[in-house]
Amino acid sequence: MKRRPLTARGWGCLLVGILLAVAANVIGARPLLYIGVLLILLPLISLLVTYLPRRRGEVARQISTDLLAVGETSRVSMRFDLYAVGIPQGSWRDTLPDAVRGDASGEYPTESPLLRYDVEGVRRGISTLGPLVLRTVDPFGLAQREQEFGDTRTITVVPQVVPLPPLPTKVGAAGGTAQTRSSRLGQGSDNLIPRPYTSGDSRRRIHWRATAHRGDLMVRQEEEEASPDAVVVLDRAAARWARPADEPDPAFEAAVSLCASAALRFVQDGYSVDVLDSTGALLGALRGHEDDRDGLMVALATVGPRGEPRDLRTLVGSTPPGPLVVITGGIDEPDAARLSTAGAAAPMLFAAGAEPGALQAAAAHGWNVAPLTDAGADLESAWSDALPMAKAPHV
């Protein structure tokens, strides 16, 4: 909201001056006229003092975390270099988007150009911080001026990740993906044997220790290990969820949070994870690298209900996964009965707003099921309820 040039004190001073000038003319009291004129001139002089100085400034922001999760707090540090005649009196505030909240304001510092404040993620999305607003007032507090300085800074708020317990047993070898294969020229994990450099090798793969030892360029020869595959499907079909509104749907937010949490849980357990939506679009492929995780979280930061669902067997393909997690919204009993496990070794189904009988119908077709509430604190309980039972060892 844009502030008026005069403060409440300034408007009061101007109004009293006008009233005194009128009263002086009515009753013929010249001293009142002098006082009234003085009170009228003071706000006008204050406006000149406040608005005449030319100012320019530069703002540089740093955020302590590149990706801010919902419910997480991060520190924003700003360097505000103001070029002006004299040190203005007033306060500063940084413009915050709806995705975060915090006290981004304070008195303008007279010694250090560094400004700091904390923000908390409250809504997924990619937003911007800024611009910085400087509010200055004259020494009498009669006039005020607001100026915007500096560029904005992008801030990405990602879904909250909830720690989940692992599956009771390692599954996935039955799917044919638990083999180990060797790749002489590939770039996989660092189970390495140095080999001589050949034309076409990336210099980023140079093994400097072996190069120094042998005196010739040596590169990493990598052993690429395949781990059991896991698939996480976020059913974001528009028909499954409440219509988009100004406020986020708590049930869909819980589904997105569970999607991220399940994918990262499988990565910790050594799985290669593909995260898909119900249309077959790849939201993320996790192969144990930090960049993969960040890519998935950024994709989930902006995901919303959209499109029509496709058959799970089409999404998964011909190779059955080990764990298969499907997170959906409102489904009825016929929908659940048609939901194929696609041959997965450990199929898990989570539904927010499932109609009566829907989860029972899915369980009858081999799914491990659990209802999904809109409270993030219950995600761990829902996950535990849907975990497949550990099989007893064969004697």
* CA distance to 37, 40, 44, per residue, from 34 (Å): 5, 10, 16
Reported confidence tier of residue 230, pLDDT bands at 50, 70, 90: very high
DSSP letters for 59-105:
EEEEES-SEEEBT-EEEEEEEEEEE-SS--EEEEEE---TTEE---E
Average pLDDT over residues 207-218: 69
Examine the domain organization and report whether 249 and 344 are in the same domain: yes
Examine the domain organization and report whether 74 and 31 are in the same domain: no
Examine the domain organization and report whether 115 and 145 are in the same domain: yes
pLDDT over threshold 70, residue 385: yes
Reported confidence tier of residue 172, pLDDT bands at 50, 70, 90: low
Examine the domain organization and report whether 103 and 249 are in the same domain: no
* CA distance to 43, 72, 221, per residue, from 279 (Å): 64, 31, 38
pTM metric for this prediction: 0.77
pLDDT over threshold 90, residue 202: no
Examine the domain organization and report whether 299 and 369 are in the same domain: yes
Q: Is residue 240 part of a domain?
A: yes
**CB-CB contact of 65 with 72 (8 Å):** yes
91: containing domain: 56-158
Cα separation, 236 vs 310, whole angstroms: 11
Examine the domain organization and report whether 260 and 380 are in the same domain: yes
Q: Is residue 35 part of a domain?
A: yes
Q: Is residue 391 part of a domain?
A: no
Reported confidence tier of residue 2, pLDDT bands at 50, 70, 90: low
Examine the domain organization and report whether 342 and 265 are in the same domain: yes
Examine the domain organization and report whether 341 and 203 are in the same domain: no
**What is the pLDDT, as a whole number, of residue 228?**
53
Examine the domain organization and report whether 217 and 339 are in the same domain: no
| pLDDT tens digits, one per residue of 280-328 | 899 999 987 778 899 999 999 999 998 888 888 888 877 788 899 999 9
Average pLDDT over residues 376-389: 83
Cα separation, 358 vs 335, whole angstroms: 8
